[in-house]
Amino acid sequence: MHGLSHRLEVLTRDEVNAIVESAFVVLEKTGFRFKHPMVLKMFEEHGCDVDYKTEIVKLPSSFVKERVRATPKDYSVQSASTDYTIRINDGSLKGGMCYEILFVDYEKMMRRYGVKEDSIRAITLGNHLDNISHIMPFVVPSDVQQEICDAEAYKLLLQYSEKPGGVYISSIQSARTIIEMAIAVCGGEEELRKRRCIGYGAEPTTPLQLSNHALNIILEFSKFDLPVSASGSMVMPGSTGPATLAGSLVLITAETLAAISMINIINPREPASFGTAIHVMDPFTALCTFGAPEQGLAGAAAIQIARHFGLSAGCNVGLADSNVPDFQAGFEKALNASIALAAGAEGIGAQGIVGADQGCSYEQLVIDNEWLGMISRTFRGIDVMPETLALDVIQNVGVGGDFLRERHTIQHLRKEIWLPGLFSRQRWDRWLSEGGKDSMMRAKEKVRLILMENYPPKPVPDPDIVKQLDRILDIARKRSPPSTMGNVGSARAY
């Protein structure tokens, strides 16, 4: 069984080629701005036309094709402290957690700034949700030194997460601190290179540029062969990109190919994937939407383009605009995720998000974990082989019999049939007698149960390693003294 035998194609082969060739024209004629003198020099040494004044590089199509061809496409990332491993470009769905500024409390119907305890609780949940493979601290902790809040959050991951994870890194100083902490947990640089337990996502500033800030962090991570993504710029048709989906696909393809080419000349051992995120700007509110149907359509098209280059691909789907886990949220998530996954996406948008980046919710995360399991079963496909065809079992049972007591049923039923852990299949009278609970109520109960049994969590690394992390972070705090920004506040409402 290798998943669905036929992938959804929203573009013809000629249409894919037209978009790709148009992206090559953009890179050759318009170029891409790399705001870093060292990176500009590298491109010049590889024969590209570099304008140091404008910081724009013109990339010949032959150069881009060779760089993409030479880029490692199959790789894995492993937890810093456990054997938990995610394999990239194996065709399976990877579900990950979000990292938001505001925490949503549905009991009080309010939002507030998050704190460290919120992050630790979220990490605990992520450790015990089977369909979440990549953990983030869920909410930016406001009760830490904000200048290095990314490093503070990464420390919580390294201390409590049993799975690979990450945060959005804000500065080169934090990047160095995070790498130093990861080396400590892994037990040395070589083990860090092997595990690739941390990475950096540098989204281009669309259209067609990467900031000096992002390039500094890319260069730092490349020293250790760590995964770096420089794609998924969240082009918005009619705002930061052309109004047509085809035009925005040309733009995001050009940006992604430029970034992959750059990563390959910085470090040929660096792997790469094709991340896409085309979001519609609502014309009435000018807000970036998360559940528009064009998002799934464009994502599916981008998956085809990624496969054209043999790259694993993900897109920002499985999200919603609704601020509660209602029918609208479920339909928006299911529609766009189904389209993209049918096209061959491995990665989807971060889960646990409330609305279009309006905050995060434990209940939403638990509901998202449930549908991830359900949709993963669908796209796992049907296993056809002599054992599963069950011809001998059918002949043995014969006409008018049943299969309940057959050994074949016992051996195969649980792995063949997806069983819900949260969604309800109860009859009306049984459902009503047990409280008539909806998905939100059941999600609250599951959150409460997981945390009651597993919170507070025990640190995953040895106590001596945790002390070492504390020392590293304490040095970072002293190197980055608080500005007038200070702490945002302790769980202050918003």
Residue pLDDT, tens place only, 100-151 = 999 999 999 999 999 999 999 999 999 999 999 999 999 999 999 999 999 9
Alpha-carbon distance of 359 to 109, in angstroms, equals 12
Residues 226 and 196 sit within 8 Å (Cβ to Cβ): yes
Question: What is the pLDDT at residue 274?
Answer: 86
- Give per-residue pLDDT as tens, 250-295: 999 999 999 999 999 999 998 888 888 899 999 888 889 999 999 9
pLDDT score, position 230: 75
Helix (H, G, I), strand (E, B) or coil at 84: coil
Is 494 among the domain residues?
Answer: no
Q: Whole-angstrom Cα distance, residue 122 to residue 96? A: 12
Q: Does residue 217 sit within a domain?
A: no
Bigger pLDDT: 28 vs 285 = 28
Distance from C-alpha of 24 to C-alpha of 360, rounded to nearest angstrom: 38
Residue 336: other Cβ atoms inside 10 A: 29
**DSSP category for residue 328:** H
What's the pLDDT score for residue 1? 46
Check whether 486 has a pLDDT greater than 50. Answer: no
Quote the pLDDT of residue 484: 37
Alpha helices for 26-134 (secondary structure H): 37-45, 61-70, 116-127
Question: Residue 88 — φ and ψ, nearest 5°?
Answer: -95, 135
Rounded Cα gap, residues 25 and 31, in angstroms: 9
Average pLDDT over residues 39-57: 98
With CA atoms as reference, report the closest residue to 290 among 371, 208, 351: 351
Task: Judge whether 391 lies within some domain.
Answer: yes
Amino acid at 482: P
Query: Region 65-86: what's the mean pLDDT?
Result: 94
Distance in angstroms (rounded) separating the CA atoms of residues 71 and 198: 19
**Count of positions (residues) in the chain:** 494
Residue 150 counted as domain residue: no
* Whole-prediction pTM: 0.94
Q: List all residues 6 or more positions away from 382 whose beta carbon is below 8 Å from its beta carbon.
A: 1
Q: What are 403's two structure tokens?
A: 């299969």
Domain count within the chain: 1
What pLDDT, on the 0 to 100 scale, is given for residue 201? 87
Percent of the chain with pLDDT over 90: 85
pLDDT at 4: 67
**Contact present, 183 and 475 (Cβ < 8 Å):** no
Which helix (H) or strand (E) segment holds residue 102: the answer is: strand 102-105
What pLDDT, on a 0 to 100 scale, did the predictor assign at position 261?
Answer: 96
123, 158 contact by CB (below 8 A)? no
Residue 464 in this model has a pLDDT that exceeds 90: yes
With cut-offs at 50, 70 and 90, classify the pLDDT of residue 91.
confident
User: 397-445, pLDDT tens digit by residue?
Assistant: 999 999 999 999 999 998 899 999 999 999 999 999 999 999 999 999 9
Mean pLDDT over the full length of the chain: 93
177 part of a folded domain: no
Q: What is the pLDDT of residue 61?
A: 97
3 pLDDT band (50/70/90 cuts)? low
Partners of 96 in the β-ladder: 134
Backbone φ, ψ for residue 241 (5° rounding): -145, 170
Record the tokens describing residue 193, joined without a space.
């290179």
Q: Which amino acid is at 61?
A: S
**By the 8 A CB rule, do 345 and 297 touch?**
no
At 316-370, the pLDDT tens digits run 999 999 999 999 999 999 999 999 999 999 999 999 999 999 999 999 999 999 9
Distance CA 484, CA 131 (A): 41
Percentage of the chain exceeding pLDDT 70: 96
- Check residue 5 and give its pLDDT: 56
Q: Compute the distance between CA of residue 200 and CA of residue 194 in angstroms, rounded to an integer.
A: 16
Confidence of residue 6 (pLDDT cuts 50, 70, 90): low
393 in any annotated domain:
yes
Which residue is listed with tokens 């409390």?
105
Predicted confidence band of residue 493 (pLDDT cuts 50, 70, 90) = low
Nearest 5°: CA angle at 15, between 13 and 19? 120
Copy the structure tokens of residue 286.
């000018």
pLDDT tens, 173-214? 999 999 999 999 999 999 999 999 999 988 888 999 999 999
Distance in angstroms (rounded) separating the CA atoms of residues 277 and 308? 18
**Radius of gyration for the chain, computed over Cα atoms and rounded to the nearest angstrom:** 24
Answer yes or no: is 422 within a domain.
no
Does 409 reside within a domain?
yes
Query: Which domain range does residue 408 map to?
Result: 386-416
What does the alpha-carbon distance between residue 111 and residue 361 come to, in Å, rounded to a whole number? 10
Beta strands in 342-401 (DSSP E): 353-354, 359-360
Burial of 89 (0-12, 13-18, 19+ CB in 10 A): middle
420, two tokens = 């819900």
